[in-house]
A and B are shown apart, each in its own frame.
Chain A
């Protein structure tokens, strides 16, 4: 009824390797893409620049982490540090006079090099040990940022980003910033959608499932792990640079602290490992829900005329938010992406599958 299918049946490999195996999925994606394009005209500017924009950039970043954690199965606790490398090198390049297009690529490549250099050392260990080594990377980067004024921008450690300009156009409006973020997020999403269909994607999944089994099949697992780290670091670097260039306008070490690393990992896990749509949901939950719940609680308490002191009022949303994460993971341990998948699967051949029971 909703999907107008009686099931998904592939008759050949071409149909099996399509991005959208169900036409309704493709239509839905196209519809959402159009809404995204029209967002500046239909969404009030407050929501555009303080919800939509950070949401899209963080989604791109989370997709990058999902590549290494969800697809290649390598736990990464130093993702914010990689974002910091990209952000700082791009901004320094742009301040030096390099055009922003190249500055962003320089940021991505520097991240990529440092991220994979580190992975080269870190990947000699696996699992929790790898997680700890990546955490070490985060601390090294924090230390470097707080101890080198030349990088972090003076004794108070804040580095101002020059005005973003792409293709000869200076970008200064909310709409402009939004489209930059939207464009980057769409690019990363397209890359990730296609990754599933390529040999690289399949190799990564093989490495995730069992790296020595993959090696037996002729997949060089070390090489693919490094490749996953390098690619995800590139995405992280550009996302970090764009976050500063379009949202914060100056870089400070706290924007890329260990807490942020854990937050991105939470986005990926709550969203669902290896799920693209899940990353969108996960980022929305981790990044936006605290602010939204805070607003709701404040409105509610104002409306009811209650005399709650400000500190309690600030902690209620945190409790609600924490409970929300626990509840979601209890209902569906595989994350919000899977939750969406369940609903979709249920409706796929609805109502006729009811007869089977």
Chain B
């Protein structure tokens, strides 16, 4: 495994070096990525980091010969999380010749999805939008590379099973979630798994925006679950940590969804948060090669695309993961089908990404024409007071159960 990764890293480096000598990237036509993000309303806790990662990665790629000699252009626009403005952004960039889109907002992605499906433009929607979009047979143009929330929840259960010695029949698992579609999504999977594995499932809904959790946690104190899986966001984790302290619930039994970052940790207190768990498909921390490269090459000289504080944030790594996969797809598209890249060649390229982990930034993904998610592997990381320490290796479990749900849900979608 380790050797394989080294070989891959060397191969990537030589490929970049080779293409750099062939031609300078600037005199060729660019590959354009449209990023219509919410930079001013609800998603500002993540979008600046992702946008900055995309800009940095594009800058680095361009300075090293581009993708097969073609420079990358990253176009960033704000849509303020308003579906109407997202559509406007899509329609405008579409006319400028962009066919690779990312909206990074569930409402906006939902609003644009029917158009992208009809027009045949590639929609990158890792972590947002409808989960069943990983079904490549139905959602041909949508690429949510990464795990669905269903898969994340299933992997969390598998992790707990591992921690409890492979037997869940006497276990009790709590699920605390924001009481709207984001938080409700995993319930179905958890119920199915609870029947299958025989553990007891307790649900603790929390009203939006997650600042009032007192009732849920005093119930948790009475129920004494072995683990609590948490589908909360940003400030919700901070409130949960206070309630955990008040109710004497050990923080190392709190397993969060991937939305838990350094800002939340700082708000909880780096030492207080020691032991908190997070299921994720993106490697956290600054020791990841590509993040280290960015810090050394740009931020050490003050040349980064934004403030350095945003780099020291796991959502920056998330952005790196999304765009490493995107750039890799563009590279495959050019090597396989040549220039110009078309939506079709990009789609085919995405579907032939095999065992790609962006040099250690994320779980290895293998995207196929059936599975646009790339396998849904995640791992559990623990905060040790300073950084994230992986507790398990990348894995995806209960795939049959998860795919049953995906197929059941995607069957209701038809392209009009």
* Interface residue ranges, A against B (CB under 8 Å): 46, 49-51, 54, 146-147, 152-158, 160-163, 247-250, 252-255, 287, 290-291, 294-295, 298, 309-311, 313-315, 317-318
Report the separation of the CA atoms of residues A317 and B80 in the bound assembly, to the nearest whole angstrom. Answer: 11
Question: Which of chain B's residues have a CB closer than 8 A to the CB of A318?
Answer: 40, 80
Q: Are A250 and B110 in contact (CB under 8 A)?
A: yes
Q: Are A162 and B110 in contact (CB under 8 A)?
A: no
Q: Which residue, of B95, B110, B306, B414, has the highest number of chain A Cβ atoms within 10 A? A: B110
Q: Are A287 and B84 in contact (CB under 8 A)?
A: yes
Does more than half of chain A's interface fall in helix, strand or loop, or is it mixed? helix
Q: Are A153 and B412 in contact (CB under 8 A)?
A: yes
Q: Are B78 and A314 in contact (CB under 8 A)?
A: yes
Q: Are A254 and B39 in contact (CB under 8 A)?
A: no
The 7 tightest CB contacts between A and B, nearest first, are: A314-B39, A314-B78, A254-B107, A249-B114, A156-B130, A50-B88, A157-B181
Task: Knowing A156-B185, A247-B87 are in contact, say whether A46-B179 is a contact too (CB < 8 A).
Answer: no
Question: Which of chain A's residues have a CB closer than 8 A to the CB of B84?
Answer: 50, 54, 247, 287, 291
Report the separation of the CA atoms of residues A154 and B91 in the bound assembly, to the nearest whole angstrom. Answer: 28
Report the separation of the CA atoms of residues A46 and B94 in the bound assembly, to the nearest whole angstrom. Answer: 9
Can you give 7 A-B contacts (C-beta < 8 A)?
A162-B416, A249-B416, A252-B110, A290-B80, A291-B84, A310-B39, A310-B76
* Interface residue ranges, B against A (CB under 8 Å): 37, 39-40, 44, 48, 51-52, 55, 76-78, 80, 82-85, 87-88, 91-92, 95, 106-107, 110-111, 113-115, 129-132, 179-181, 184-185, 187-188, 305-307, 409, 412-414, 416
Among B78, B83, B181, the residue within 8 A (CB) of A317 is B78
Task: Knowing A156-B409, A255-B111 are in contact, say whether A310-B51 is a contact too (CB < 8 A).
Answer: yes
Closest chain A CB from B154 CB (angstroms): 14
Report the separation of the CA atoms of residues A152 and B409 in the bound assembly, to the nearest whole angstrom. Answer: 13
Closest A residue, CB atoms, query B181 = A157
Task: Knowing A51-B88, A252-B107, A254-B107 are in contact, say whether A298-B113 is a contact too (CB < 8 A).
Answer: no
Report the separation of the CA atoms of residues A255 and B108 in the bound assembly, to the nearest whole angstrom. Answer: 9
Q: Are B85 and A290 in contact (CB under 8 A)?
A: yes
Closest chain B CB from A227 CB (angstroms): 31
Q: Which residue, of A46, A252, A311, has the highest number of chain B Cβ atoms within 10 A? A: A311
Q: Are B412 and A154 in contact (CB under 8 A)?
A: yes
Question: Which of chain B's residues have a CB closer than 8 A to the CB of A162?
Answer: 416
Question: Which of chain A's residues have a CB closer than 8 A to the CB of B185?
Answer: 155-156
Q: Are A50 and B111 in contact (CB under 8 A)?
A: no
Closest chain A CB from B316 CB (angstroms): 14
Report the separation of the CA atoms of residues A184 and B22 in the bound assembly, to the nearest whole angstrom. Answer: 59
Question: Which of chain A's residues have a CB closer than 8 A to the CB of B180?
Answer: 146, 253
Among A49, A254, A314, the residue within 8 A (CB) of B40 is A314
Among A49, A161, A287, the residue within 8 A (CB) of B91 is A49
Report the separation of the CA atoms of residues A250 and B129 in the bound assembly, to the nearest whole angstrom. Answer: 13
Closest A residue, CB atoms, query B412 = A154
Among A46, A160, A294, the residue within 8 A (CB) of B413 is A160
Question: Which of chain A's residues have a CB closer than 8 A to the CB of B91?
Answer: 46, 49-50
Report the separation of the CA atoms of residues A213 and B234 in the bound assembly, to the nearest whole angstrom. Answer: 53
Q: Are B409 and A155 in contact (CB under 8 A)?
A: yes
Among B95, B114, B184, the residue within 8 A (CB) of A160 is B114
Among A147, A156, A161, A310, the residue within 8 A (CB) of B131 is A156
Question: Which of chain B's residues have a CB closer than 8 A to the CB of A313?
Answer: 39, 78
Question: Which of chain A's residues have a CB closer than 8 A to the CB of B78?
Answer: 294, 310, 313-314, 317
Question: Which of chain B's residues have a CB closer than 8 A to the CB of A152?
Answer: 181
Report the separation of the CA atoms of residues A146 and B184 in the bound assembly, to the nearest whole angstrom. Answer: 9
Question: Which of chain A's residues have a CB closer than 8 A to the CB of B88?
Answer: 50-51, 291
Report the separation of the CA atoms of residues A258 and B180 in the bound assembly, to the nearest whole angstrom. Answer: 14
Closest A residue, CB atoms, query B410 = A154
Report the separation of the CA atoms of residues A161 and B83 in the bound assembly, to the nearest whole angstrom. Answer: 16
Q: A155-B185, A160-B414, A160-B416 are in contact. List 10 more A-B contacts (CB 8 A).
A: A146-B179, A146-B184, A160-B413, A247-B87, A249-B416, A254-B110, A255-B83, A294-B85, A309-B305, A314-B39
Q: Are A294 and B87 in contact (CB under 8 A)?
A: no
Closest B residue, CB atoms, query A321 = B80
Question: Which of chain B's residues have a CB closer than 8 A to the CB of A294?
Answer: 77-78, 85
Question: Which of chain B's residues have a CB closer than 8 A to the CB of A254?
Answer: 83, 106-107, 110
Closest chain A CB from B412 CB (angstroms): 6
Q: Are A158 and B110 in contact (CB under 8 A)?
A: yes
Report the separation of the CA atoms of residues A155 and B405 in the bound assembly, to the nearest whole angstrom. Answer: 10
Closest chain B CB from A108 CB (angstroms): 22
Among A248, A295, A309, the residue within 8 A (CB) of B111 is A248
Closest chain A CB from B51 CB (angstroms): 5
Closest B residue, CB atoms, query A161 = B416
Report the separation of the CA atoms of residues A255 and B416 in the bound assembly, to the nearest whole angstrom. Answer: 20
Question: Which of chain A's residues have a CB closer than 8 A to the CB of B305?
Answer: 309
Question: Which of chain A's residues have a CB closer than 8 A to the CB of B44?
Answer: 311
Report the separation of the CA atoms of residues A161 and B114 in the bound assembly, to the nearest whole angstrom. Answer: 10
Q: Are A163 and B106 in contact (CB under 8 A)?
A: no
Closest chain A CB from B90 CB (angstroms): 8
Closest chain B CB from A53 CB (angstroms): 10
Report the separation of the CA atoms of residues A317 and B85 in the bound assembly, to the nearest whole angstrom. Answer: 13
Closest chain A CB from B372 CB (angstroms): 15
Report the separation of the CA atoms of residues A254 and B111 in the bound assembly, to the nearest whole angstrom. Answer: 10
Report the separation of the CA atoms of residues A309 and B44 in the bound assembly, to the nearest whole angstrom. Answer: 14
Question: Which of chain B's residues have a CB closer than 8 A to the CB of A247?
Answer: 84, 87
Question: Which of chain A's residues have a CB closer than 8 A to the CB of B82?
Answer: 290
Among A157, A160, A248, the residue within 8 A (CB) of B412 is A160
Question: Which of chain A's residues have a CB closer than 8 A to the CB of B76?
Answer: 310
Q: Are A250 and B412 in contact (CB under 8 A)?
A: no
Question: Which of chain A's residues have a CB closer than 8 A to the CB of B40?
Answer: 311, 314-315, 318
Question: Which of chain B's residues have a CB closer than 8 A to the CB of A158?
Answer: 110, 130
Task: Knowing A50-B92, A155-B184 are in contact, say whether A250-B111 is a contact too (CB < 8 A).
Answer: yes
Closest chain B CB from A318 CB (angstroms): 6
